[in-house]
Amino acid sequence: MTRPVRIAPSILSADFARLGEEVRAIDGAGCDWVHIDVMDGHFVPNLTIGPMVIRALRPHSTKPFDVHLMIEPVQPYLAEYAQAGADIITLHAEADRHLDRALQVIRGLGKKAGVSLNPATPETVLEYVLDRLDLILVMSVNPGFGGQGFLSSQIEKIRRIRAMIGDRDIALQVDGGINPETARLVVDAGADVLVAGSAVFRGDDYSATIAALRPPYE
């Protein structure tokens, strides 16, 4: 089965002084989703944005808001992010010991539910929650900061997760060090959603960069 590859630029690498304009720019440049990295300075060693910023950005695009929660604890905040305008809410398997319950909460809020795995986390943690999932996010860098180099160790994990998914309607997303060269590797392994921050926002032509992340590759 041929799966369309969707591009979700991460606004972690955008100009924070003009976030609304940046969201409109990637929307107009052809992105499929807007990826929003939420960091708490506890689960990861960085602080970023919260639900108030997401709520402020929501009028700037009709594209799905793909909200990646790198926070711990996570369950007390799920409703707040849902109400702020998230369409997809992804939490880390490492951040919640009651993963099944958290996924039920997200779906109960009417949102798509995702699970993210750090590089050292095996895919086996997904086995008993696959039917609760709309998205699996493989981190191909250690979470917390943009601009890191791609970890090739994650390619085989992506292949194994694609096999686990089978014919389920679950998106397989990869985040970290994605550029036109690494995009080919992860798509060949089975990914169908690519998160790219620095690769998109460091240039002036967002349309050209987003197009270069999609197959067919040169």
Residues designated as active site: 37, 175
In the 3-class helix/strand/coil scheme, how is the chain assigned residue by residue? CCCCCEEEEEHHHCCHHHHHHHHHHHHHCCCCCEEEEEEECCCCCCECCCHHHHHHHHHHCCCCEEEEEECCCCHHHHHHHHHHCCCEEEEEHHHCCCHHHHHHHHHHCCCEEEEEECCCCCHHHHCCCHHHCCEEEEECCCCCCCCCCCCCCHHHHHHHHHHHHCCCCCEEEEECCCCHHHHHHHHHHCCCEEEECHHHHCCCCHHHHHHHCCCCCC
| Beta-bridge partners for 165 | none
Q: Which two tokens stand for residue 40?
A: 């708490």
Sheet containing 171-175: give its strands across. 6-9, 193-196, 171-175, 135-139, 112-117, 88-92, 65-70, 34-39
Q: Which two tokens stand for residue 87?
A: 């369409």
